[in-house]
Amino acid sequence: CACFFTDNIFVGRFGLHVRYRDGPQLRRDHGRALRERGCRSEEQFRAVLREIEAEVQRRKQLIHESAERRAIISKCYTPKHPEVYTLQDSFLAPEFLEIVRFCTSPGADLQGLLSYLESFSDKRIYRLPVFTEEFCRAFVDELENFEQSDMPKGRPNTMNNYGVLLNELGMDEPFLTPLRERFLRPITALLYPELGGACLDSHKAFVVKYSLHEDLDLSSHYDNAEVTLNVSLGKEFTEGNLYFGDFSQDPSPVPRYIEVEHVGGRGLLHRGGQIHGALPIASGERWNLIVWMRSSAIRNQLCPMCRRKPELVEAEGFGDGFTEPPAEEEPQTVNLCAL
């Protein structure tokens, strides 16, 4: 089986979700799904179920382990380039700032925005300049300094074995939240209105690393996000293009794939549900910044992974981008005695 359902969780290929079911209910709900995916004997079924239940327990602990790592890093790690932890306009390419100015101007529309962007086929994939070369060099140097330290390190997901979770470096509030709110949201509002592009209210951000003796490529997958930004930070490398297939909800019998080349400092915006992957690099080393942007207004209605109405449990921080609906206000009463 390529991936297994455990209520609102995809194991193996995709991200952690919102609610977990244990015991007999899990066995009843997913026995049929596992059999449909190739499990025939009782022995196969029990082995796979043990693996799924172990993965559920592991993922339940991830948020607590991440908080522990962040506390240690905050206390003990000395950054080499502390300035890169707080977003500054000087980090952003002048062309990117011009795009944002257009998107926030009166009368801005999609057709006008598209004149600033590179578009790829009909898959709604767009490339645009994001960061300056100077920032990319300093940021990668900082990431390498962290990698060489003895600090605890959480990896981005089950598919990327090398990289950094940026919230553990304390970059969410000073860097990533303003990047999403001030600069990216005006762009995504025009590009992806039906995906909540105007109300992307949380994110998960991480950096991935590819090199010849570590991760070479990334298998076909889709993201736990409404919209994804993927920025090539460097360094020197050859090959390793991204490839894009169908949208996850609209598969075709014969998928059409396109390849898109990485360009240093430039980012690719695409729908999180766009099936994609990374081809192997042939030489060198590549670092990419990935920002999964999420809209609670969209995913509160339907989980983008399992396509069900989510059943929520409390989580620290942004969690997986879901929010509880606001409680109904108590009806106002009037104190007649006071009147």
Q: Calculate Rg over the CA atoms of the chain.
A: 22
Is the bond preceding 153 in cis, omega lying within 30 degrees of 0? no
Bin 137: left if φ > 0, else alpha if -120 < ψ < 50, else beta: alpha
DSSP letters spanning 202-266: EEEEEEEEEETTS---EEEE--SSSEEEEEEEE--EEE--EEEEEETTS--SS---EEE---TTE
Whether the Cβ atoms of residue 272 and residue 15 lie closer than 8 Å to each other = no
What does residue 118 show for φ and ψ, rounded to 5 degrees? -90, 130
Task: Write down the pLDDT at residue 8.
Answer: 33
Contact 310, 17 (CB under 8 A): yes
Position 332 scores a pLDDT of 52
Q: How does pLDDT run across 267-295, given as a tens digit for each residue?
A: 999 999 988 888 887 788 889 999 999 99
Q: Which H or E run includes 54?
A: helix 42-76
Could you tell me if residue 284 is left (phi over 0), alpha (psi between -120 and 50 degrees) or otherwise beta? Answer: left
Q: Which of 207, 187, 205 is CA-nearest to residue 197? A: 187
Strands (E), the chain: 4-5, 10-11, 118-120, 125-129, 163-165, 202-211, 218-221, 227-234, 237-239, 242-247, 258-260, 266-271, 274-278, 281-294
Neighbours of 311 (CB within 10 A): 14
What is the per-residue pLDDT for 251? 67
Among residues 295, 291, 85, the alpha carbon closest in space to that of 205 is found at: 291
Find the distance separating the first CA and the last CA of the chain, reported in whole Å.
70
Nearest CA-CA partner of 22 in 53, 65, 61:
53
> Given this model, what pLDDT does residue 159 score?
66
The pLDDT assigned to 75 comes to 97
Grouped pLDDT means (10 residues each) for the chain, 339 residues: 32 35 51 74 84 84 90 97 98 98 96 96 93 97 95 78 88 97 98 96 92 64 93 82 81 79 92 87 87 94 84 80 66 48
Question: What was the pLDDT predicted at 281?
Answer: 79
| Choices 2.60.120.620, 3.40.50.300, 1.10.10.10, 3.50.30.50: CATH for 82-322 | 2.60.120.620
Domain boundaries, given as residue ranges, for the chain: 1-76, 82-322
What is the structure's pLDDT at 233?
A: 95
Q: Note the pLDDT tens digit of each residue in 168-217.
A: 999 999 999 999 999 999 999 999 999 999 999 999 999 998 877 765 54
Tell me phi and psi for residue 20, to 5 degrees.
-120, 145
